[in-house]
Amino acid sequence: MNICLVTLNSLNQPGGISTYYTQLTRLLTQAGHRIFLLTPNQLAGEDDEDQWLESGLLTTVFLKKNYSAEKRKWSPYFRPGGFDAPNWIAKGMATREWLLSNHKAYQIDIVEVADYGGLGIFLCDNSLPPVIITGHGSLSQFAGLNYSGKNDSLELITRLEELSFKSADAIITHSQFNKNSLEKWLKKTVRVTSIPWQNMQNRVCSREPGKLICIGGLQPVKGIYDLLDAMTLLREKAPHIRVTWIGGDTWLAPAYQQMSVYLQKKYPDTWQHRLIWAGELDPEKTGREIAAASLVIIPGTFDTFNYVALEAASLGKAILITDHTGAAELFTHGKDAWIVPANNPAALADAILYLSANPELCGKLGANAGSTIREKLSEDRMVSERLAVYSDVIVNRVRKTQGAGNELDFLNQYRTAARKYYYCLRRFLKKIKG
């Protein structure tokens, strides 16, 4: 099968999305399938050409030329920064143009694209292969949980996401938790498949007593507020306990403030005292931090899966995880993980205190967690489930009554002379003010 995967991140980068595509391309190429990995490159310069990299059955294409042209075309009509609608329009247009030009020559059978940003609708066209949307967590789902405010970029991107879900030939995700969330919203069937993963059975690692870590971007859905509230509650009971948070900063605090700055103001006695933010680390360094940990905390308030749980389990680490994290479904409370209710800082604090005082229990949880994921996430199962969905979608595809061109007509309402003049004047005034 010739499969096109559209990703927002390069392989082997920090974060779950990059991990997902790294693992998926490995599994599918090992099974003998040819993969075209398309990555719209938002760092592309005006004169850059697309970059093609060949590695066995994997062809990676960094889409630069059309991305750069579309970004320049749409940027004058929007306020810079924020959710950056021109970036997502440019990614969608560049991906669409590549597929229109190449899908027949390379006999592409199916396209899989992430939900975030709404790229799918640009590809849902009878003249292109069938499209599967992968539910990792969309801006539409996060908008009410992370700070998003109201602006036209947010409005446009969430519309693109809704159209993508509506028009896709199928939707898949990797947890019942996210399946329920999507089906409640979309009123459309969502399929669950095993998440791509490579078990690390032979890794031997030491454990630093009292080393508690949490990994994820600084954003509300990852549970940063709840963990800070929990550590504040433990200030008197257990002043010796510290947690290290590893992950990049965001601008998702109220009024689009930088999260690290906002947290310093909101939690002056806890931030960088009881919860230590280490910033973003590369995957190798992050892996070493997990390997040295005695407890890995995953405090998500809405986390559609979370690869950190698998990384920790593979290394035999005790996991403290909330029930609003998709990966929690793999585990059993008290046997191979410690599962607490989400949005409950008191329960989180009690669990941190209890597990910190019981290293033998942590050792048992970690050992059992490794056995659990090796049993539940076999590579043969992951590949067979994925290919079954691909094959079913190809065979049972329903032709659309209208193509992406019609669905995307609404974009024209943003590309007006009045908007261009307004944002040009705004940029000019901002520039002269310094």
Q: Quick check: 233 pLDDT over 60?
A: yes
pTM for the complete prediction?
0.92
Instruction: Report in angstroms the alpha-carbon separations of 41 from 133, 202, 220, 403.
Output: 20, 36, 27, 25
Please report the pLDDT score of residue 174 as a whole number.
Answer: 97
Could you tell me if residue 274 is inside a domain? yes
Q: Quick check: 202 pLDDT over 60?
A: no
Same domain? 303 vs 390: no
Same domain? 339 vs 422: no
Same domain? 276 vs 396: no
How many residues are there in the chain?
434
Same domain? 181 vs 257: no
CA dihedral 248, 251, 254, 259 (to 10 degrees): 30
**Total structural domains within the chain:** 2
Instruction: Report in angstroms the alpha-carbon separations of 46 from 65, 67, 69, 97, 340.
Output: 7, 9, 7, 17, 50
Please report the pLDDT score of residue 400 as a whole number.
Answer: 67
What mean pLDDT value characterizes the chain? 93
Could you tell me if residue 202 is inside a domain? no
Could you tell me if residue 203 is inside a domain? no
Same domain? 217 vs 162: no
Residue range 367-373: mean pLDDT, rounded: 95
Band of residue 401 on the pLDDT scale cut at 50, 70, 90? low
CATH of the domain at 68: 3.40.50.2000
Give the highest mean pLDDT range of 255-264, 341-350, 369-378: 341-350
Same domain? 29 vs 143: yes
Among 359, 376, 393, identify where a domain stops.
376
Helices 85-102/65-74 angle, 10° precision = 140
Instruction: Work out the percent of the chain whose per-residue pLDDT is above 90.
Output: 82
Residue range 406-425: mean pLDDT, rounded: 92
Q: Quick check: 329 pLDDT over 80?
A: yes
Instruction: Report in angstroms the alpha-carbon separations of 371 from 16, 81, 175, 204.
Output: 22, 45, 19, 15
Q: Which residues contact 107 (CB under 8 A, 6 or more apart)?
A: 2
10-52 confidence digits (pLDDT tens): 777 778 899 999 999 999 999 999 999 999 887 777 788 999 9
Say which residue, 294 or 81, is predicted with more confidence.
Answer: 294
Q: How many CA atoms lie within 13 A of 61 on its CB side?
A: 20
Same domain? 95 vs 63: yes
356 within 8 A of 230, measured Cβ to Cβ:
no
Same domain? 34 vs 182: yes
Same domain? 76 vs 152: yes
3-class SS letters over the chain: CEEEEECCCCCCCCCHHHHHHHHHHHHHHHCCCEEEEEEECCCCCCCCCCEEEEECCEEEEEECHHHHHHHHHHHHHCCCCCCCHHHHHHHHHHHHHHHHHHCCCCCCCEEEEECCCCCHHHHCCCCCCCEEEECCCCHHHHCCCCCCCCCHHHHHHHHHHHHHHHHCCEEEECCHHHHHHHHHHHCCCCEECCCCCCCCCCCCCCCCCCCEEEECCCCHHHCHHHHHHHHHHHHHHCCCCCEEEECCCCCCEHHHECHHHHHHHHCCCCECCCEEEEECCCHHHHHHHHHHCCEEEECCCCECCCCHHHHHHHCCCEEEEECCEHHHHHCCECCCEEEECCCCHHHHHHHHHHHHCCHHHHHHHHHHHHHHHHHHCCHHHHHHHHHHHHHHHHHCCCCCCCCHHHHHHHHHHHCCHHHHHHHHHHHHHHHHHC
Same domain? 8 vs 151: yes
Token pair 């230590």 in the structure block, residue: 276
Q: Domain range holding 400?
A: 2-197+383-433
